[in-house]
Structure 1
Amino acid sequence: MKALVLCGGHGTRLRPITHTSAKQLVPIANKPVLYYGLEALRDAGIEDVGIIVGDTAAEVRRAVGDGSGFGLRVTYIEQEAPLGLAHAVLIARDYLGDDDFVMYLGDNFLVDGLTEVVDRFRATRPDVQIMLTPVADPSQFGVAELDADGRLVRVEEKPRSPRSDLAIMGIYLFTPVVHEAVRSIKPDPRGELEITTAIEWLLEHDARITSHIVHGYWKDTGRVEDMLECNRLVLEDLETRVEGHVDERTDVVGRVVVEEGARISGSRLVGPLIIGADAVIKDSYVGPFTSIGPDCLLADTEVEFSIVMERSSVLGVRRLRDSLIGKDVAIKPASVTSTAHQLVLGDHSQVRIA
C-alpha cells in the first residue's frame, strides 16, 4: 500500500505567511504540520509515499528530502497547477500503479493518527473508504449524505445548502478502481477535477464505498485560528525538557521545553510552551500555548497563545496574543515617542491594535 500526499496549492487563507512558505511547512509546536502526517503514515505501516508538489516544490524537497529521516521512501510528482484532488490522482497514475493507496492532504492534522483507519481498510478492502467528521459550517467542505443505515448516498463539494453536517476529511483510501473514475469525470466550472466528483461517479457505477465518522480531533490547518488551535493541542501533551540554559532569575511554571542552545535570562515562562534551539529570551514573559522557533530573539516582551517562527525578533512589545508571526520578522516599538503606529505590512496581512 502506498500514500499520495498533496503539498501543492497556494494556501491563500494563510497569507501573507504562504507568500514565501509552503502552508504544509508552517510549524505546530516547532514542527511542520506535514511532518505529523508523514509520521502517521509511517506508523500505519506505509513505506512508499508520493508527494504532489507545485510552486513550493523546492522548499518541500528541502524539508523532507528522500524521506529516509521519517523511515519512508519518497517520490516527488510535479503538478503544473492546483487543478483539483482528482487531478493529483490522475498525474500520479504511473507512480501508484495497481497498488491501493491513502490520499492525504499535507496540511491536515489528525491527532489520533492513521493506524486504525488503514488497518480497517486493509481488513475489509472496499473500493473507497472516506473519513467524515461533524463540523459547524459544512458549506466550506465536501459534504457527505448518509442514509438511515449509514450508507453513503451522495457527496457534494462546498454546497450552498448542505444536506448534512458531515464534512469529508482530507484522508481518502482507494483501490485502483479510482483511476477509471478520475479519467472519466469533467472539470468543474473553476477548471478543477474534484475528488468528490470522482466519488459520485463511483457511487453511480456501484462501487463499494464505506465511510467512517471520526469524533476525535481533526483540523484542516488552512486558517490562522486553526494553526493556533492545533498548536495548543500538541503543547498540552508536552513533557518538561530543558536542554538550553535558564538562569536563576527566570521563573519556570508548568510544562516547558527549552531546546539545546537556547538562552533564557530574567524572564518568566508559563507552560505549556516550547522555545526552539538557539533562541534568546531576555527580560520577557512567555505564556501558555506558545511556540518560539529556533534562533528567535525576545527582549522586554510579553507573548502568549502564539506561534513565532524561526529567526524572528520581538523587542519591547506589550502584549502579543493569538498571533502567528512568520520567519525573519522584526517587531519593535517606533523610534520616537508618538501616538501613531508605524506599520510595514505585506499583502493579505491582518493587524489588530489595542
Structure 2
Amino acid sequence: MAGLGKRMRPHTLTTPKPLLPIAGRPIVMRLVEDIVRICGQKVEEIAFVIHPSFGEKTEKNLLQVAESLGSKGKIYYQEEPLGTAHAILCAGDSLQGNVVVAFADTLFKADFQLDTTKDGIIWVQKIDDPRQFGVVKLNEQGEIIEFVEKPQTFVSDLAIIGIYYFKDGAYLKKHLQYLLDNNIKDKGEYQLTNALENMKNEGTKFSTGQVLEWLDCGNKDVTVYTNQRYLSFLEERKAPLRAKSAQIENSVIIEPCFIDADVKISNSVVGPYVSVGRGTHIQNSVVRNCIIQENSHLENLNLHNSMIGNSVKWVAQPLNVSVGDFNQIS
C-alpha cells in the first residue's frame, strides 16, 4: 500500500488512499477483516508496506487495525515504486510459513475458507478488458500454466485481482530476491508475475480462487460504487451500521447507510448507500450514494455519487424564486 494514490486526489493529499473510508472504516481495515475471515484461523501478524511519507499517525492507525483483529502489526517501507515484487520483498522479514499477500486498493466478497494445503492460490476474476492487469492462462485441467503481466494482445480474460496465498513464504521470498539480484524487470518494474512463473517452472502448483465480487478503489467513481456494494454486504451480514450516539431529527434514512458516532442529521433525506463519518452534521439536504468523512457540516445540498472529505463546511443558499406557468427548468 505504498502508492501515493494520485488518481484519488484531492482526498489523498491529506489521507493515504488505503485509509480512505469504505462503509465508515478504512479500505485497508475492510480488506484485512475479510482476509482474516476467509483464513479461518488465527492470523499471527499483519505487515503493512507503506511509503515513508505516510507519517507516524498513519503507522499508529495501521498497528491499531492489526491489534483490533488479534494480530501483531508490523510496518515496512517502500521508498520507490519499483514494482509489485519489490514491494512484497520490502516485507521480507515477514515472509515465513503460510502467507497471504494483498494489494490494498481492492476489496472482495467471498464465501469460502482458505485451503492451506495447496502450494499457492491466485484469486482471479473474468473481465472484459484485461490489458491493465496481470492474467493467468489455464490448461484443460484448470491448472495455471502461464502468468502474463498486462498483455496488450489477448492471452486470457482471467485477471489477477491482487490477493494471493503461498504455503511457503520463504520460498516466495527467494524467488522475489532472484528477480532483484538479476535485475529481471517487465515493463520497467520487478513484477510478482515473473516470480510466480519461475516458481511454477520449479514445480509449485498454483490453483485459482474465485470471489463472488471484486471491487476496486482506484478513483472517485469506483470508490463510491465500492462503498455502495460494501454497505449491501454488511446489510446481508446484519452488521451494525448506525452508532447509538447518532442523532436523527425529522429525517428519513433509506438503508443501507453507515452512520457513525456523534453524527447529527436533521430535516434531510439520506440514503441509500451513504456513509457518514464521525461528528458530521447534515441539515436540510438530500444525500444519496455518497461517502462523507468526519467532522463536516453540510447544509441545503442535493448530493449524489460524491465524496466529501474531513472538516468540510459547505452551506449552499436555498433558492428564492418566482417561476411562471409552463416553464421547464432542468
What TM-score range do you get, normalising by the shorter chain? 0.7 to 0.9
Matching residue's letter, 1:107: D
Q: Aligned pair 1:84/2:80, yes or no?
A: no
Superposed displacement of residue 320, structure 1? 0.7
Q: Deviations over 1:196-221 (max 9, x none)?
A: 12112323x33323122415112232
- Of 133, 151, 171, the match for 1:177: 171
- Give 3-state SS (helix, strand or coil) of 1:56's partner: helix
- Of 235, 239, 253, the match for 1:269: 253
CA distance in 2, matches of 1:94, 1:273: 40
CA distance in 2, matches of 1:83, 1:325: 32
- Give 3-state SS (helix, strand or coil) of 2:190's partner: coil
Superposed displacement of residue 17, structure 1? 1.2
CA distance in 2, matches of 1:336, 1:296: 24
Map 1:319-330; keep pairs closer than 5 Å. 319-330=302-313
- Of 264, 285, 291, the match for 1:307: 291
1:35 counterpart residue number: 29
- Give 3-state SS (helix, strand or coil) of 1:171's partner: strand
Contact 2:143–2:208, Cα closer than 8 Å, also in 1:
no
Superposed displacement of residue 92, structure 1? 2.1
CA distance in 1, matches of 2:108, 2:234: 17
Matching residue's letter, 1:151: E
CA distance in 1, matches of 2:140, 2:234: 42
Structure 1 residues 268 and 40: alpha-carbon distance in aligned structure 2, compared to 1, 3 A threshold: closer
CA distance in 1, matches of 2:89, 2:117: 26
2:62 counterpart residue number: 64
Map 1:4-43; keep pairs closer than 5 Å. 7-43=1-37
CA distance in 2, matches of 1:335, 1:29: 30
2:204 counterpart residue number: 208
Q: Deviations over 1:306-343 (max 9, x none)?
A: 111111222112x21111222222323269999xxxxx
Contact 1:290–1:304, Cα closer than 8 Å, also in 2:
yes
Q: Aligned pair 1:123/2:117, yes or no?
A: yes
Q: Aligned pair 1:74/2:81, yes or no?
A: no
CA distance in 2, matches of 1:151, 1:302: 51
Q: Deviations over 1:131-164 (max 9, x none)?
A: 1111222112111111222222222222222311
Give 5+ residue unaligned stretches, structure 2: 322-329
Matching residue's letter, 2:205: I
CA distance in 1, matches of 2:145, 2:153: 16
Q: CA RMSD in A?
A: 2.7
User: Matched residues, percent identical?
Assistant: 28
Using structure 2 for the length normalisation, give the TM-score: 0.84
Q: Which has the higher mean CA deviation after the structures are superposed, 256-265 or 143-152? A: 256-265
Contact 1:29–1:231, Cα closer than 8 Å, also in 2:
yes
1:224 counterpart residue number: 220
Superposed displacement of residue 79, structure 1? 1.7
Superposed displacement of residue 195, structure 1? 0.7
Using structure 1 for the length normalisation, give the TM-score: 0.79
1:47 counterpart residue number: 44
Superposed displacement of residue 189, structure 1? 6.4
CA distance in 2, matches of 1:162, 1:21: 37
Contact 2:130–2:158, Cα closer than 8 Å, also in 1:
yes
Contact 1:278–1:296, Cα closer than 8 Å, also in 2:
yes
Structure 1 residues 79 and 261: alpha-carbon distance in aligned structure 2, compared to 1, 3 A threshold: same
Matching residue's letter, 1:11: G
